[in-house]
Structure 1
Amino acid sequence: MSQSDTLFDYKHIWHPYSSMINPHPCYTVISAKGVYLKLKNGKNIIDGMSSWWSAIHGYNHPVLNKALKKQIRKMSHVMFGGITHPAAIALCRQLISLTPKKLDCVFLSDSGSVSIEVAIKMLIQYWQSLGQTRKTFLTIRNGYHGDTFAAISVSDPNNSFHKIYHNILLKNLFADAPVSSFHDNWNNSDIISFTKIIEKNSYKIAGVILEPIVQGVGGMRFYHPTYLKKIKILCEYYSIPLIFDEIATGFGRTGKIFAFEHADVIPDILCLGKSITGGTITLAATLTSRYIANTISQSETNCFMHGPTYMGNPLACAVANANIKILKTNIWKKQVYNIEKQLSTSLLPLIDHPYVIDVRVLGAIGVVECSRSVNMLLIQKFFVEHGVWIRPFKKLIYIIPPYIISTQALNKLTNVIIDALNHDFLFL
């Protein structure tokens, strides 16, 4: 990659959550293998982010590559309207076999945010089919569900990512987030706010939506499984469908194949994405019950009104199938267990550091919450210079490494985090 390419990128390409005026520099990756990203200068750095939760088996995995190559020889894409194909059928079989029996209808889409849009539209249409107009959703604060408009509307309205849009979004209901953490004792007062809101507004609530157990970029909090149990009881009492957003946590990240399994509850709608293809190509899925699907299908339109162009993309479905087959070998369980154990040993002692206010570990997720916000420009440079790719935000330094990471590579990630905490200039 030439210097002119780098300059073109800087001047013309708008990267996620960035400004076009004096944007932060981007680091050019020319290839990736295993847990390593190779930069244009030839340096290899360890990816601690799994490409935003997705590359759970690392990069250039031979099984995933083989699935892509085999499928592309047949066809890379075909419209899903009025057409089906073996890769999509096989994937939906796998998803149904992997999820609770109740979730037996699958709607495929092309990104996690869209899978949330699909879930929300499903429930709006579901209630219309029952002769009711309901468009209000109930969720909890500190949540994040994506960057498209319906997804933003159920994300925390005070989240700096999206608060500029909230005056034009559907007005939804937000209960206080639970305080009881995953590893602490349950405090029943956590459910009071949610209970009061659902009691008062049950007649107009179309659905409840939550990130189960782990709240992602809304704060990287891990809450108590009992909270989900209480939510499920309330939803059943008021006959309000429950949506779980497992886009980030699905496929093993928390130590269970799905995070909701920690609470032993089952949603009415389940949204999946990110690691569904092992981080190779974009795909998402929204699963629901036969009852909800049939109710929607008996509506005035006689169908569900959504149809992404790349829905059921054969390449994505083929590699997702290969990814799920890898997961079904259950090697990931030991991998994630070992990561959790090592992260606990390395990171939990940081609670005594003067710049640290909390440390959280669950499955293959490690979070260091600092007392001061990071200087994004400087800390990103520091991490790259020290051979790791970690993308902090606000006061959070967190890692979500590929499951295949070695003990040595994980040690390097955590050691560089520890080193960063001892450099005052990296914080605002």
Structure 2
Amino acid sequence: MKNASELLEFDAGHLWHPYAALRNTPARFLARSAQGTTIETADGLKLIDAVSSWWCVAHGHNCPEIVEAIRKQSEKMCHVMFGGFTHEPAIELGERLVKFLPKGLNKIFYADSGSISVECAAKMAVQYQFAKGHPEKCKLVALKGGYHGDTAGAMALSDPDGMHTLFRGIMPQHYFAERPNCRADEPWDDRDFASMEQVVAEHEGEIAAIICEPVFQGGNGMWLYNAGYLKRLRKLCDEKGILLIFDEIAAGFYRTGPRWGMEHAWGTPGAAGKDCANSGEDCAAVLPDIMTIGKALTGGHMTMAACVASEMVADVITNSKISAFMHGPTYMANPLACAAAIASLDLFENRDYASRVAAIEKRLRANLEPLRNLENAADVRVLGAIGCLELKAIPTSDDILRVIKETGVWLRPFCNYVYTMPPLITSESEVDRICEAIKMIGQCEPGPVSDDEFHE
């Protein structure tokens, strides 16, 4: 067996890591195991995973219930193509999701990843408009500051001035409105919707759908905005015959407080839970026509996502000349992933995550709000189990690495954002440790930005 040094040497010479150079960017840590909120490295360092391994490990690492579900399924069938076959895990997961999702969103397309589910949502919207006799409606409107994934179609819907500008030549061209500036904790200001109204007015005849991340823009700025924007979007889409897509990949599964980010527009955030999700009229006015889910769907144990459509969207496509929805991933409805997702839904339904997230939010606010007084602080933002310290300038990667080792907290700042999105099982004392690490990074002297994995 190779030792840690040999493994890291091969890694550095041959393996690309996310948003990182191949050369001169060694992996900072060699993970040996992970349990609960903690990742343990080969040299014995134990790190609290303050970012849920990119926001997906909601129930903690190596969750016994999910691991056991995968093990049991592996004894029966690891994979079978979904073209021409179906299987019990896919059907059971579908039955569970129909009950778990907001009322009326019940036509499910299983996808490999969040990015692919966004690709499916965009294609579904265009195929819907084609079936309605509007082939010219093949563009989407997205928000500046948004992030929807790294595949070409998803990149094209992400911030046009963000991390993907290099690839503009291969992206479809869509339209963008200014991001909502009205913050989540401020009164709604209807002037914040003017940019979207203008874009739609100018291009109405070309627009198939509008897509947004409800209340929480993630990977391009960690921005939290007022849910009143979602109400105005729904009204505008209804008036113009445009579909509305909510990308709940990051905001869903209690990350912002309630089960879905969209619930902040339902009148009583956090109150929807099990009851309103399938019954109340309060939510009916602010439902999307298509939504995407992923990340926490399997609790971060297997890659899986879904694109979910309303009955209206599905019926129009199904009853058209081209009735087949033209997409089909190889690993669509992978049985192991379906088993993991079923076990994950069990936990979401049986644990009071709304209360747990409320406790995390309270602790984040208490710890992070005072950081506004730091000399290098530009802003502090908190919602649910999301906390972000925006800095005027980012410290060096060496300083960030030092803080990680000193505190035992794994943080991965990007651009000038030091953020946390911890597992939903994170204790109050662990939240305190995370916030102390964020504070220490905020107190570091700014330095030159290096081209390594800490600066995505």
Structure 1 length normalisation: TM-score?
Answer: 0.97
For 2:122 and 2:35, the matched residues in 1 are separated by: 37
Cross-structure match for 1:213: 215
CA contact (8 A) 1:18 1:24 kept: no
Task: Provide, for residues 87-134 of structure 1, a one-character-per-residue CA deviation record: whole Å limited to 9, x for no partner.
Answer: 111111111111122111000011000000001111111122122222
- Per the TM alignment, residue 21 of structure 1 is displaced from its structure 2 partner at its CA by 2.6
For 2:387 and 2:61, the matched residues in 1 are separated by: 21
For 2:57 and 2:398, the matched residues in 1 are separated by: 24
SS of the aligned residue for 1:366 comes to strand
- Per the TM alignment, residue 380 of structure 1 is displaced from its structure 2 partner at its CA by 3.2
Cross-structure match for 2:119: 117
For 1:223 and 1:389, the matched residues in 2 are separated by: 27
Cross-structure match for 1:184: 186
Cross-structure match for 1:77: 79
For 1:230 and 1:377, the matched residues in 2 are separated by: 45
For 2:180 and 2:52, the matched residues in 1 are separated by: 27
Q: Does 1:153 align with 2:174?
A: no
Of 52, 55, 58, the residue aligned with 1:56 is: 58
SS of the aligned residue for 1:393 comes to coil
- Per the TM alignment, residue 425 of structure 1 is displaced from its structure 2 partner at its CA by 5.2
- Per the TM alignment, residue 419 of structure 1 is displaced from its structure 2 partner at its CA by 1.8
CA contact (8 A) 2:395 2:445 kept: no
For 1:168 and 1:425, the matched residues in 2 are separated by: 35
Cross-structure match for 1:321: 342
Of 437, 440, 444, the residue aligned with 1:419 is: 440
Q: Does 1:343 align with 2:375?
A: no
Cross-structure match for 2:290: 269
Paired residue type of 2:404 = F
Q: Which runs of 4+ in 1 moved over 6 A?
A: none
Paired residue type of 2:62 = N
Structure 1 residue ranges without an equivalent (≥5): none
Structure 2 length normalisation: TM-score?
Answer: 0.91
Paired residue type of 2:217 = Q
For 1:62 and 1:105, the matched residues in 2 are separated by: 30
Paired residue type of 1:339 = I
Structure 2 residue ranges without an equivalent (≥5): 267-285, 450-456
Paired residue type of 1:288 = A
For 2:397 and 2:130, the matched residues in 1 are separated by: 46
Tell me the C-alpha RMSD between the 2 structures: 1.3
SS of the aligned residue for 1:404 comes to coil
For 1:377 and 1:273, the matched residues in 2 are separated by: 33
Q: Does 1:309 align with 2:326?
A: no
- Give the aligned length: 427
Cross-structure match for 2:142: 139
CA contact (8 A) 2:244 2:290 kept: yes
CA contact (8 A) 2:237 2:244 kept: yes
Cross-structure match for 2:176: 174
For 2:241 and 2:19, the matched residues in 1 are separated by: 38
Of 255, 258, 282, the residue aligned with 1:256 is: 258
SS of the aligned residue for 1:361 comes to strand
- Per the TM alignment, residue 416 of structure 1 is displaced from its structure 2 partner at its CA by 1.5
- Per the TM alignment, residue 386 of structure 1 is displaced from its structure 2 partner at its CA by 2.5
